[in-house]
Amino acid sequence: MELVNLLGLPRAELEGFVADRLGAKFFRARQLMKWIYRRGAADFATMSDLAKDFRAQLETVARISVPEIVTEQLSNDGTRKWMLRMDQVQGIETVYIPEPARGTLCISSQVGCAMDCSFCATAQQGFNRNLSVAEIVGQVWLANRELAAAPSGSHRITNIVFMGMGEPLANYRNVVPAMRIFMDDLGYDLSRRRVTLSTSGLVPQIYKLAEECNVALAVSLHAPNDALRDQLVPINRRHPIAELLAACWHYIERQNGRSVTFEYVMLDGINDAPEHARELARLLRGHPAKLNLIPFNAFPGTRYRRSGAAVIVRFRDILNEHGVIATIRKTRGDDIDAACGQLAGQVKDRTISRMGSRLTAEPRAVAEVR
């Protein structure tokens, strides 16, 4: 009989497992959650406040299994990047970004990505599979363990962002349970504003998320009109900007949120003209929106270049002058290819074609997102 991995079981499922499989009271599940997430335990024998016979039962039916760290890199600015083994050949990357008042963990949701955004290194790797709940939560578990063992010992995770490899809403069934664990007071006890899901624009799933899970929403916009966004973000051919924005405003209204963060990578001579800024202002002005301007981070084989610093500042200023809050993201970890858009992982088996190629052949045909 295969052992059940308790890492990644939301509270209700863990309570059901403890009651149905082990005949124990629900409070045992709460004890387990504290040991797994608060204390980072992976060995039932160390869980000293659990009865010995209960621990013996657990050994026969359950396990706490986390991904294996293949490599770790440390940037000059303190950013850390881990390559994690998902199976015999597949690997994903997770990044920790320290700041004076916070520590952000950027996690992955898939091995590779099928969205085919042309400026993203992950998209160029192709797509293999979705990560399980345990593999998603395991990134946080491992990062907590590694940071606790670091020489400074003062690093901690205050924010989690789904901005690593993959499209989170294309792995909806596993991402949402993981986010619930992040926000559970027996899990990682993060507020909804400290868990951010970034999507390229899967509109049906944004509406579904609005009914089921309240987290901060970030949207990869990258263009102010459909003609340009069709080229940069192929999912736009299925869900154009007007449809995407309607879903965003619904999400904020339904979840009583503050605003949507729109991500906009600055590409030299592509989307960085003053008129592009004015178009963006017309789209977003008067709505609960913030714009995060991201200097493009190069990767091998890309045809794009980063917009000049003065161009980015002028772009920001035009937006601010037109009533749209815009900030420039500071580039972190680019010396270890850990900056935004640079995560590539190790995708050895590209079993699914890219979104762009499918949409070019059949503009309205998109793989079902479960």
Do residues 209 and 84 both lie within one domain? yes
Identify the CATH number of the domain in which residue 325 sits. Answer: 3.20.20.70
Per the residue annotation, which of 15, 93, 135, 167 is the catalytic one? 93
Do residues 39 and 89 both lie within one domain? no
Q: How far apart are CA 354 and CA 146, in angstroms?
A: 34
Predicted confidence at residue 29, as pLDDT, reads 96
Predicted confidence at residue 340, as pLDDT, reads 56
Q: Any idea how long the chain is?
A: 370
Question: Number of structural domains, the chain?
Answer: 2
Residue 340 catalytic?
Answer: yes
Per the residue annotation, which of 113, 117, 248, 340 is the catalytic one? 340
In which domain, by residue range, is 53 found? Answer: 4-63
High-pLDDT (> 90) share of the chain, %: 73
CA distances from 40 to 43, 138, 144, 183, 212 (A): 9, 10, 8, 16, 28
- 69 membership: H or E segment, kind and range: strand 68-74
pLDDT in tens, 62-121: 999 998 999 999 888 889 999 998 877 788 999 999 998 899 999 999 998 889 888 887
Do residues 203 and 219 both lie within one domain? yes
Do residues 201 and 326 both lie within one domain? yes
Q: Which residue in the block uniquely carries the two structure tokens 């952000």?
A: 104
Sheet-wide strand order for 216-220:
68-74, 80-85, 91-99, 102-106, 159-162, 195-199, 216-220, 260-266, 289-295, 325-328
Task: Classify residue 47: in a domain, yes or no.
Answer: yes
Task: Classify residue 370: in a domain, yes or no.
Answer: no
Q: How far apart are CA 137 and CA 215, in angstroms?
A: 16
Do residues 46 and 126 both lie within one domain? no
Mean pLDDT of the chain: 88
Task: Classify residue 368: in a domain, yes or no.
Answer: no
pLDDT band at 362 (very low <50, low <70, confident <90, very high): very low
Mean pLDDT of 50-67: 94
Do residues 86 and 58 both lie within one domain? no
Tokens, residue 16: 């059901």
pLDDT band at 174 (very low <50, low <70, confident <90, very high): very high
pTM: 0.89
Q: Is the pLDDT of residue 338 over 70?
A: no
pLDDT in tens, 256-281: 888 999 999 999 999 999 999 999 99
Residue 93 catalytic?
Answer: yes
Do residues 23 and 96 both lie within one domain? no
Task: Classify residue 239: in a domain, yes or no.
Answer: yes
Identify the CATH number of the domain in which residue 23 sits. Answer: 1.10.150.530
Strands 80-85 and 102-106: what pairing? unpaired
Do residues 73 and 216 both lie within one domain? yes
Predicted confidence at residue 349, as pLDDT, reads 46
Alpha-helical runs (H) found in 23-132: 26-33, 52-61
Do residues 186 and 321 both lie within one domain? yes
The answer to whether residues 107 and 174 touch, using CB atoms and an 8 Å cutoff, is no
Do residues 309 and 232 both lie within one domain? yes
Do residues 18 and 113 both lie within one domain? no
Q: How far apart are CA 10 and CA 4, in angstroms?
A: 13
Residue 76 CB neighbours (<10 A): 9
Q: Is the pLDDT of residue 353 over 50?
A: no
